[in-house]
Amino acid sequence: MELEEIVRSVHPVSDEAMEQLRRILTPHKVPARRFLVRPGEVSRELFIIKEGIARNFSLYDGKETTRWFGLEGDVMAEMFSFVQGKPAACAIETVTAMDLLVADRDDIHRLINGNPEWALWTARYLIDGLYQIERRFVFLGQGDAYTKYQNLQQYRTFEVLNQIPLQQIASYLNITPQTLSRIRRRVARKH
């Protein structure tokens, strides 16, 4: 996915604003199963996903809980840490090999503070993020395990779900991998 398409899908910005962003981005290729942010570290980078899948997860009492997946076209960071400059509570890990554009925290802050277009874009991005959280609670936080998986399938393609390990999807849905495996068999029999 191209940078202009990613940015302008959130909110329109001028060509001049796009050029400002381009100047602070660095391309990175990252293999699968690599940490972009570790718990306890300060998140100093913002990531724009051109290709690939990442996940944000927490670890408590030896159990991983996946909070969200970042897909092609998403902008991601461990937001609390990135904004506040405090240690991250969660990790961001690549699920697949990724093609990223990366910007430093200080450069992003200067961009937002120095250009009203980027301040407006950021507000729109954050509003969209709140909508995503709301949608997750409405569609994935209710019903039985089968209903949660059906709801997930409505807004994630089969191709994407097949690239994510079963235990990570189960964690995201707050169900066991065994339950998810049974649900997937049930869904496969219907098709």
> To 10 degrees, the CA torsion angle through 74, 58, 66, 119?
-20
Domain of 73 in residue numbering reads as 3-117
How confident is the model at residue 188, as a pLDDT?
85
DSSP-based three-state secondary structure for 90: coil
DSSP result, 121-168: HHHHHHHHHHHHHHHHHHHHSSS-HHHHHHHHHHHS-HHHHHHS-HHH
How confident is the model at residue 86, as a pLDDT?
96
Average of per-residue pLDDT across 133-152: 86
Tell whether 113 is covered by a domain.
Answer: yes
pLDDT score of 168 more than 90: yes
pLDDT grade for 165, boundaries at 50, 70 and 90 = very high
Tell whether 26 is covered by a domain.
Answer: yes
Tell whether 41 is covered by a domain.
Answer: yes
- Give residue-wise pLDDT tens across range 87-139: 999 999 999 999 999 999 999 999 999 999 999 999 999 999 999 888 888 88
Average pLDDT, the chain: 94
DSSP 86: S
Tell whether 9 is covered by a domain.
Answer: yes
- Give residue-wise pLDDT tens across range 38-84: 999 999 999 999 999 999 999 889 889 999 999 999 999 999 999 99
Number of domains comprising the chain: 1
